């Protein structure tokens, strides 16, 4: 299944692979990869037990994606171990770590969908024409149920930070 014209990139309509994730459903499966002393995997099962913020960005090498990650990092300060927070992109884990080190990102983990695009496909976020993920934000409760879902309609604009953070606080 594909959703033609679901979003735009610089005004050009784009197609998203898969079905849209909606509030109330269980988190679809994925396997993300991150580098922490070696290559490791992250799945929805690893996130259960705490409310989770999933910040989805096309690439940390772009201005809006960097801003989104830095803003969430700032706004999540003080929540610490009470939550999970993950930025998802198709950037390589090594590049993601370099970005986090350079930008002092401490409150949000970075994980990549580069190997099989299971997040992009299963969450309806893979832009078929560009083979990158769209911009969005999801919040899961501690059982892995989606309590907030935003797919940003124009990829070059920022998400609704306040709505996501309010949902995260409500889930805590």
Catalytic residue list: 65
Q: Which two tokens stand for residue 102?
A: 């350079």
Residue 5 · residue 13 · CB < 8 Å: yes
Q: How many CA atoms lie within 13 A of 147 on its CB side?
A: 21
Residue 117 · residue 30 · CB < 8 Å: no
Residue 123 · residue 30 · CB < 8 Å: yes
Residue 49 · residue 142 · CB < 8 Å: yes
């Amino acid at each position: 299944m594909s959703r033609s014209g679901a979003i735009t990139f610089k005004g050009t309509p784009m197609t998203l692979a898969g079905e849209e994730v909606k509030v109330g459903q269980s988190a679809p499966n994925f396997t993300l990869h991150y580098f922490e002393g070696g290559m490791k995997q992250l799945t929805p099962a690893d996130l259960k037990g705490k409310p989770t913020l999933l910040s989805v960005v096309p690439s940390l090498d772009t201005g809006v994606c960097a801003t989104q990650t830095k803003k969430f990092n700032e706004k999540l300060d003080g929540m610490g171990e009470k939550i999970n927070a993950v930025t998802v992109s198709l950037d390589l884990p090594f590049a993601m770590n370099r970005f986090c080190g350079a930008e002092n990102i401490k409150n949000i983990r970075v994980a990549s969908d580069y190997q099989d695009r299971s997040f992009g496909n299963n969450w309806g976020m893979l832009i078929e024409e560009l083979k990158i993920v769209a911009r969005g934000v999801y919040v899961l409760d501690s059982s892995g149920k989606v309590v907030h879902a935003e797919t940003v309609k124009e990829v070059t604009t920022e998400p609704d930070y306040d709505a996501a953070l309010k949902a995260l606080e409500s889930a805590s």
